[in-house]
Amino acid sequence: MNFSAIDFETANANRASICAVGAVRVEGGKIVDEIHRLINPCCVFSPLNIAVHGINPFDVRFSPRFDQLFGEIKPFLEGVVVAHNAPFDMSCLCAALEKYDIAPPDFDYLCTLSISRKAARELPCHRLDFLAKHYRLGAFNHHNALDDAKMCAKIFSLFCEKTDVENMKKPFRKKAADMRERRSETFFSPRGKTARPTTIHAGEPQNEFEFDYSPVNFRKNFAIAGDFGDLDARYIKSLICRQGGNFVSVIDQNTDYLVVGNKPFQPRELSAFTDKISSALAFGKTRFLSLPHFLKEIM
C-alpha cells in the first residue's frame, strides 16, 4: 500500500497550536519524499509541551504559520495517511485548517496505535517508542516530528503484513465536518449567546489542588472530572481501560487518580465537577492528573 505517515507537535493543549510537522511518503515500500518543518503557532507555549518535544518560542520565531506552509504539507495528505494516535494528529489538522479557513483535503486515515492494540493484544504497551524497541525497528528521537513519522511508517508497514487494515480506514473530511459541527454547538448557547469554549485545556490547576506529574501507574483506579472537549469523556474512559486501569464513576478512599478536564460551562455539569474535586480532596489519597500529562503518559 502506498501511504503517507504524519506527526504533529503542538505548543499547548489547543489542537490548533501546531508548532512542528513531520511527514513521509511511502511508495513501493520505500520513502520517496519527506518534510520536517517548524511552524509558528502565534500563541503561548506550555511548559508541559516544551518538556515533551523541546521546541520553544525562540525556535519558531522566524518560522512560517500553518497557512503559509500548508502548500508544502498538502501533497502528503492524499490517498491514505497514517499516524500513531491518529485521533490527536487528525484533530490538530482539523483545528488548524478551521483556524485559517482552509478547505479539508480528501483522504482516508488510519491509526497505528489502534491497529497495534488489535493486532498485538498480548503486548503490555502500544506507545510508539515501545513498539519500536519491541520490534527492533531501530533507534529514533521520540517526539521529533519527522522521526515519529518515519517510525510510524515502519510500524504500519509491519502490521500491514499481519492484519487487514482496509476496514479500519476513516474519511478525514467527515471527521473535519463532525468537529466543526461539535465546535459550533460548544461555542454557542441555545439563546445565541457566545459561550466559553471548552475545547482547550489550560493544563493548570483550577482549584485548590496540585497536579501530579510523576509517572502514572495504569493498574490503579481512575475517575474523571470536567469537560474533555473534542476528545470526549467516553474516549478518556476507553484510554484508561485499554491501559489496564479500572474506571470508577464514584470517588471514594480507593480512587487513586482523577483525570481533570476543563471546568464545564453548564451549571449542572460544573456542580458535578466541583463535587468530584471536593470528594478527592476530602479522601486525601487521590492524585490529580492534568489531561496533557495523562495523554503524554499514554503516548
Can you tell me the distance from the alpha carbon of 66 to that of 83, in angstroms, rounded to the nearest whole number? 19
Over residues 270-282, the pLDDT tens digits come to: 888 888 888 888 7
pTM: 0.64
Same domain, 236 and 109: no
Same domain, 205 and 248: yes
- Mean pLDDT rounded to a whole number for the chain: 86
Separation of CA 259 from chain center: 15
Percent with pLDDT over 70 in the chain = 90
Same domain, 85 and 211: no
186 belongs to a structural domain: no
pLDDT score of 287 more than 60: yes
Dihedral pair phi/psi, residue 44, rounded to 5°: -75, 140
- Which residue segment(s) compose the domain that 109 sits in? 3-179
pLDDT score of 107 more than 50: yes
pLDDT score of 131 more than 70: yes
CB count within 10 Å of CB 208 equals 8
Domain containing 231 — which CATH number?
A: 3.40.50.10190
Domain count, the chain: 2
Task: Please say whether the beta carbons of 39 and 145 come within 8 A.
Answer: no
